[in-house]
Structure 1
Amino acid sequence: MKDIFDNCQFGDLKLKSRVVRTGLWQTQSIGELYDKYESMAKSGVGLIITELISVYPKDKFSEYSIRSGAPQFMVEAKRLADIAHEHDVAIFGQIEFIQFNRGIDLNIDINDLTIDDIRQIQSDIIVAAQKLKLAGFDGIQLALGNNFFLSKFIDPYFNQRLDNYGGDTFNRMRLVLELVKVIKTNLDFHVSCKINAYDGRKGGIDKDESIEMCKLLEKVGADSLQVTKPLSPLYFTKDVSEEEELVEFSQKLIKEVDIPVILGGGFDSQKHMNDLLNKTDIEFLSMYRPFLAESDFLKSWKKSGDGVSRCKKCNNCYRTKTSQCYHF
């Protein structure tokens, strides 16, 4: 029988539970952030994925994000890694951005990027990965899902380019595939990719193409995948049909790849999570909002064996772009 608190292998890493904490916004002081990480790491989480780390200072969400170019970034990143490792918890840095800016030209459209722009994006992400590696992180997570820039670049709904970076699935994935290959060739670093199960728009990525994209990522060296939906976690409500759709997709994906797959989906019940683990091939589950409602809730879950998060799924933490719970 699988249990969320199993010691388990996650690619090249050993985790002390199947629970993955995934991050989003960061509006707290650095001291509060250290305390939150300490609390999460001590509680029984297996892997911590940080809040958004933006590679661009003028990005749309840079006000609510950790920035890899900030003067204090290395010191703060090293402290976060040290906190996680003090409690035998793995930690990934989540690298994302919404807008690419070229000097005074802001928010350059995907279809207007030059080859030099594409090389700049790849270079900036590689530099951010190098910084995280030097800070002691175990890996990075590339944001190819939700509504971030790279998720749009690989999506035919947005990408209408006529060169080698547009058109078929491989060409739209080329920027990311080149990026993953360079990181894996030059850094001993776990690369995880967060990807949408589908787009939902007419002419966007469907489930079959998403699986093909995941297979390409594995082929160039990606170590793990995290399944999500566009605009998540806003769409993760109490509607069980949403979860069933992602479970079905994840089941199919797991049969097509040989790397770990993390499923995210608004989980809040220990019993439900354990039931899901034992009724499917899914082995890793991610959570975000419950850690805002109570950063160390896993500690009480482990004692009781039947824990339920106090998170109300109101999504105010998402809408207000804060990293704090509205109710608690």
Structure 2
Amino acid sequence: MSKIFEEVRFPHVTFKNHVARSATNDYAGNEDGTVSEFQMGLYRELAQGGVGMIITGHYAVCPLGRNDIHQNALWDDSFIASQRRLTDMVHENGSKIVAQINHAGAKAQAAAIGGAQPVAPSAVEVAPGVMPRALTAEEIAQVEDDFAAAALRAKQAGFDGVQVHCAHGYLFSQFIDPAHNKRADAYGGSVENRFRIVEETLRKVKAAVGGTFPVFIKIHCNAVEGDAQFASDLVYMLKAAAALGVEAAEISGFDFAKQPRDKRLYYMERARRAREASGLPVILVGGIRTLAEMDEVLDGGLDMVSLSRPFVCQPDILKRLQAGESSKCIGCFGCFSCYQKTGKRCVLH
């Protein structure tokens, strides 16, 4: 049997297998930020399908950081009861669930933030035609506090950990990427400065939730500008995260949606080198479809695999692979827009 189905242990949490459902924005939450019945059904299917580690779609840590009007939220204690209902259900169905917490930064949609001007590290356009304003140092400190408060609420709601989102062009991703961070203060310039907001946030999160509550990060491993230097910067950031007690980093890339349909293991080699140089456990996401590819990831020295689109296509894909079937996911980009446009979760459904 593939080693994918064996237990995997991190310092403060154990998962029943080496497979994570990568955070996937389903655009299906209630407009008040609570968990919808439709989402309860989605997560129930994933838990019953045998996923070891379910990572939720990103949860907004504050109203100004909300990505869209159907995004779930954790900026207030009133959300805890709704999330407790979700975690209880996932646990009853034999899986563990980690809350991804996030601030959309310059990607926040106007309708989701009441028409306010979005914020970012610098006044650099991310969403076409929308110019964000640069955060002040005082506002940066408040964002960090918002992440810590959201993490504590996740713990109180029964989650098995939190994942701080530092990828895919959202606020923390914008800070660590030189193409979007043009600051000249303590939060811009060197990798130490660009990663400062993440380090300070992780310290505050750990202080809020305690030393034994699992904290993960998700981070992109490449960059539009200065990609070779960013590979070196990634090692620094992973080492810093490890020193702060992060359990593992899920590694993705800024260009995952642009990868050719037939390409596989998009970020494998860079993730492998970063894992070896930093010592921090790594969860790889991007272009993983078969058991052979999953085993290749583990054989390459990485610690878990993470899938998104295959679970959109077939929530029970793990059981199907274990039974000798193949994934039906064709690697299209439809699931990034199908639901918003048609209500379909996958072009095959």
Aligned 8 A contact 1:236 1:265 in 2: no
Aligned 8 A contact 2:84 2:158 in 1: yes
Superposed, which structure 2 residues align to 1:1-328 within 5 Å?
3-28=3-28, 30-57=36-63, 59=65, 61-69=67-75, 73-99=79-105, 106-111=117-122, 112-188=134-210, 189-202=213-226, 206-235=230-259, 237-240=261-264, 243=265, 246-278=267-299, 280-302=300-322, 304=323, 306-320=324-338, 322=340, 324-328=345-349
Aligned 8 A contact 1:5 1:44 in 2: no
CA–CA separation in structure 1 for the residues paired with 2:307 and 2:103: 21
Aligned 8 A contact 1:289 1:313 in 2: yes
Give the partner amino acid of 1:46: G
CA–CA separation in structure 2 for the residues paired with 1:31 and 1:264: 27
Aligned 8 A contact 1:11 1:224 in 2: no
Identity of aligned residues (%): 27
Aligned 8 A contact 1:197 1:227 in 2: yes
Root mean square deviation, CA, Å: 2.5
Aligned 8 A contact 2:199 2:241 in 1: yes
CA–CA separation in structure 2 for the residues paired with 1:153 and 1:276: 29
CA–CA separation in structure 2 for the residues paired with 1:128 and 1:41: 23
Q: Which moved more, 1:261-270 or 1:197-206?
A: 197-206
Structure 2 spans left out of the alignment, 5+ residues: 30-35, 123-133
TM-score (normalised: structure 1): 0.89
Aligned 8 A contact 2:164 2:215 in 1: yes
CA–CA separation in structure 1 for the residues paired with 2:245 and 2:334: 37
Higher relative contact order (CA 8 A, sep 6+): 1
Residues 118-155 of structure 1: CA distance to partner in whole angstroms, max 9, x if unpaired?
01111111111111111011111111111111101112
Structure 1 spans left out of the alignment, 5+ residues: none
TM-score (normalised: structure 2): 0.84
CA–CA separation in structure 2 for the residues paired with 1:125 and 1:236: 35
CA–CA separation in structure 2 for the residues paired with 1:234 and 1:73: 35
Aligned 8 A contact 1:25 1:64 in 2: no
Give the partner amino acid of 1:40: L
Aligned 8 A contact 2:221 2:252 in 1: yes
Aligned 8 A contact 1:60 1:98 in 2: yes
Determine helix, strand or coil for the equivalent of 1:67: coil
Residues 166-201 of structure 1: CA distance to partner in whole angstroms, max 9, x if unpaired?
121111111110110121133132111111111133
CA–CA separation in structure 2 for the residues paired with 1:56 and 1:236: 35
Determine helix, strand or coil for the equivalent of 2:85: helix
Q: CA deviation at 1:209?
A: 1.1
CA–CA separation in structure 2 for the residues paired with 1:46 and 1:12: 15
Aligned 8 A contact 2:80 2:157 in 1: yes
Determine helix, strand or coil for the equivalent of 1:212: helix
Residues 63-119 of structure 1: CA distance to partner in whole angstroms, max 9, x if unpaired?
242122478632221122112222342211111222268998511341321111101
CA–CA separation in structure 2 for the residues paired with 1:23 and 1:99: 18
Determine helix, strand or coil for the equivalent of 1:298: helix
Q: CA deviation at 1:16?
A: 0.8
Residues 13-34 of structure 1: CA distance to partner in whole angstroms, max 9, x if unpaired?
1111101001222233621211
Determine helix, strand or coil for the equivalent of 2:56: strand
Aligned residues: 322
